Amino acid sequence: MQSAISGMGRVVSNPSQSPVKTGYQRPATPADIAFVADDMRPEDVAEVKAQSGATPRDALLYCLLKSKPCMAMVGRHGSVVGVWGVIPENETAGRVWMLGRQAMLDDAGDRRTFLRQSRIELAKLQAQYPVLFNVVDARNEVHVRWLRYMGFTFICKHPNWGPEGRLFYEFVRV
């Protein structure tokens, strides 16, 4: 995906890119991080802030630098709709994460592609990281539902997590 620098110095997705027939994934770039951070779902922004106190851009840049892999999800209309990755904890375990734009949920075709591809990508990830885990903000109902759909197990409630002291659920898949 090409990017352009606007007159204000902000990195934006190339709006003239032609639509694709179905969504796909590719390695994420700093331009993808900026694009998603600037238009992140409000629930994802709230989760980032509650968990770490970081801005969406800072959180995503950290994830881009630490994750193996860090992938961009491209919707069927050609724009990045979200990013995901795994931050390795050791050789067999990693913190799986995903943050996105509302555009991913608004388009039925992108939702179907995302759900279908999620299971395929999870199988690949588990070959590399047999233990995948993290925490999720209990208020982020879309993420909680997706984690259940993907077969993650919620193992612990943390009622006072992060700088805001919010309820977070710890989850794992082995």
Domains and CATH numbers, the chain: 19-173 (3.40.630.30)
Which pLDDT score is estimated for 116?
A: 87
- Point out the least confidently predicted range of 3-17, 49-63, 107-121: 3-17
The residue written with tokens 């990693």 in the block is: 94
Quote the pLDDT of residue 108: 87
Mean pLDDT for the stretch of residues 105-113: 87
Residue 6 pLDDT: 32
The pLDDT confidence band at residue 22, using thresholds 50, 70 and 90, is low
Arithmetic mean of pLDDT, 117-121: 90
137-163 mean pLDDT: 97
Between 141 and 107, name the one with better pLDDT: 141
Per-residue pLDDT band at 11 (split at 50, 70, 90): very low
Q: Stretch 44-59: mean pLDDT, rounded? A: 98
Between residues 9 and 48, which one has the greater pLDDT? 48
Segment 42-67 mean pLDDT? 98
